[in-house]
């Protein structure tokens, strides 16, 4: 039986512009009468936000990073994501497990098999869905050349531990996302994040309307009208 709710994750290297589109999509879905929960990883609960602060600031080895990310994820799934899906809400999550494979796996060298085992353990038996491994129904992958992302991020704010990594690190992270996308082509939609903000938004609307989650766009116009268009690509 299909599980209730709709779970959409937003992924991409730092600077790819996913956050502002998440807010816009929440508005568009709420306009359809859906309950929408916007959240992020690591984070989304008081405990997971504490783990996020450690992960982004404290020096640690790569496996410790992965374990913290998954510990935060378990709490987030149990407290927020699982219950929201069980009551048939839409969950829009800024990053999820693909980020751990991309950053800690491809970027920092943690063994993929180990990450797969953690994924299975952490994402199974949540809420009233025993035996099911919870994962997104759709992953919007904001794909952007690492050099472009670095230019966008330069000087915007004080970089965290990941944002301050060299462009070579982000090349590996981007390859990690590409590998995850190739392994789950039905779940992933690749967005060309180098395009103008309005065009990226149209790609998102097209992906959702193809699945029947947003109305089909009227010919020649954005799917949900300019009111939902994000003002900033953060």
Residues that bind ligand TYD (CB under 6 A): 14, 19, 41-42, 56, 69, 94-95, 99-100, 103-104, 162-163
Report in angstroms how near the CB of residue 31 gets to ligand TYD at its nearest.
25
Is 122 or 208 the residue whose CB approaches ligand TYD more closely? Answer: 122
98 is annotated as contributing to ligand binding: no
Question: For 36, phi and psi rounded to 5 degrees?
Answer: -125, 130
Report in angstroms how near the CB of residue 150 gets to ligand TYD at its nearest.
13
Report in angstroms how near the CB of residue 172 gets to ligand TYD at its nearest.
12
50 is annotated as contributing to ligand binding: no
- CA 173 distance to own-chain centroid: 14
Is 184 or 216 the residue whose CB approaches ligand TYD more closely? Answer: 184
DSSP code, position 217:
P
Judge residue 217's burial from the number of C-beta atoms within 10 Å of its C-beta, 0-12 exposed, 13-18 middle, 19 or more buried. Answer: middle
Angle at 23 between CA 141 and CA 4, to 5 degrees: 75
Whether 87 and 129 have beta carbons less than 8 Å apart is answered as no
19 is annotated as contributing to ligand binding: yes
Report in angstroms how near the CB of residue 185 gets to ligand TYD at its nearest.
22
Report in angstroms how near the CB of residue 69 gets to ligand TYD at its nearest.
3
Is 162 or 201 the residue whose CB approaches ligand TYD more closely? Answer: 162
33 is annotated as contributing to ligand binding: no
Neighbour tally for 99: CB within 10 Å = 26
Is 42 or 222 the residue whose CB approaches ligand TYD more closely? Answer: 42
Compute the CA torsion angle 25, 83, 140, 155 (nearest 10 deg): 80
Distance between first and last Cα of the chain: 38
116 is annotated as contributing to ligand binding: no
Neighbour tally for 17: CB within 10 Å = 22
Tokens at 233, concatenated: 């690509």
Is 76 or 222 the residue whose CB approaches ligand TYD more closely? Answer: 76
Report in angstroms how near the CB of residue 210 gets to ligand TYD at its nearest.
26
Is 162 or 213 the residue whose CB approaches ligand TYD more closely? Answer: 162
13 is annotated as contributing to ligand binding: yes
On the CB side of 208, how many CA atoms lie within 13 Å of its CA?
27
17 is annotated as contributing to ligand binding: yes
Residues annotated in a binding site: 12-19
Residues annotated in a binding site for ATP: 12-19
């Amino acid at each position: 039986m299909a599980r209730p709710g709709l779970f959409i994750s937003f992924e991409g290297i730092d600077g790819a512009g996913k956050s502002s589109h998440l807010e816009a999509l929440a508005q568009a879905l709420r306009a359809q009468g859906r309950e929408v929960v916007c959240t992020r990883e690591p984070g989304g609960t008081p405990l997971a936000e504490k783990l996020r602060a450690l992960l982004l600031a404290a020096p640690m080895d790569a496996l410790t990073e992965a374990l913290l990310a998954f510990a935060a994820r378990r709490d987030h799934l149990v407290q927020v994501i699982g219950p929201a899906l069980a009551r048939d809400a839409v969950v829009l999550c800024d990053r999820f497990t693909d980020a751990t494979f991309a950053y800690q796996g491809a970027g920092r060298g943690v063994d993929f098999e180990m990450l797969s085992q953690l994924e299975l353990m952490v994402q199974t038996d949540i809420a009233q869905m025993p035996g099911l491994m919870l994962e997104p129904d759709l992953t919007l992958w904001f794909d952007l050349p690492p050099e472009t992302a670095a230019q966008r991020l330069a000087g915007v704010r004080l970089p965290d531990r990941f944002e301050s990594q060299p462009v070579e690190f982000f090349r590996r992270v981007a390859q990690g996302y590409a590998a995850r996308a190739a392994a789950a082509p039905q779940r992933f939609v690749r967005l060309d994040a180098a395009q103008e903000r309005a065009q990226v938004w149209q790609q998102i609307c097209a992906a959702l309307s193809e699945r029947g989650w947003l109305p089909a766009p009227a010919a020649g116009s954005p799917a949900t009208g300019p009111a939902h268009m994000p003002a900033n690509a953060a």
